[in-house]
Amino acid sequence: GFESVTFPPTNWARFAGPGNGSAEDWQRQTNQSHSGSASAGIEYDGSNTVDRFLATSQLDLSQVSNTQLEFWHRDNWASYYNYHGVWASTASQTNPGDYSEVVETGPTAEDSWEVYNVDLSA
C-alpha cells in the first residue's frame, strides 16, 4: 500500500506523459483508501488533460507464470472520466515511449471502489 509517508514509494516514479497539459500530479491521499490508511490518487483538472504515470519499481517476472496485478480503483467524478489504464514497459521506467497499454480500466461507479485483476503474463 501507500502507508509510508514517502511518496512515491522507494524505487517508484511519477512523470508526465507526452500529452500532459496539466499541473496535477500523483499524490498520497489519506482521506480515501480501500484498505490500509492511504492510497495514490490524482486530482481532476477541469481545463487540461491529465496525462501522468505512476510506475512501480522494476519487477522481474521472467520466472513467473500466470502473473496477475490486482488493485482497487475509484472515481470521485466518474462523469468527468477521460481515460484510466495500466501500461507496462520492459525498458525504461520513466520514458513514456517505452510503455505499451495492457488494459484500459474504464470508469467506476462514482465514489465506489472496484477491484481490477490484470493479466501480466503476456
Strands (E), 1-122: 13-16, 27-29, 39-41, 52-55, 68-73, 85-89, 99-104, 114-119
When divided into structural domains, the chain yields a total of: 1
Instruction: List, for residues 28-77, the tens digit of each pLDDT value.
Output: 999 989 999 999 988 877 766 777 889 999 888 889 999 999 999 988 87
> What average pLDDT does the structure give for the chain?
87
Give domain status of residue 1, yes or no: no
**Would 20 be classed as within a structural domain?**
yes
- Report if residue 40 sits inside a domain: yes
> For the chain, what is the radius of gyration of the CA atoms?
15
pTM: 0.81
Backbone torsions φ then ψ of 88, nearest 5 degrees: -135, 150
Boundaries of domain holding 35: 13-57+66-119
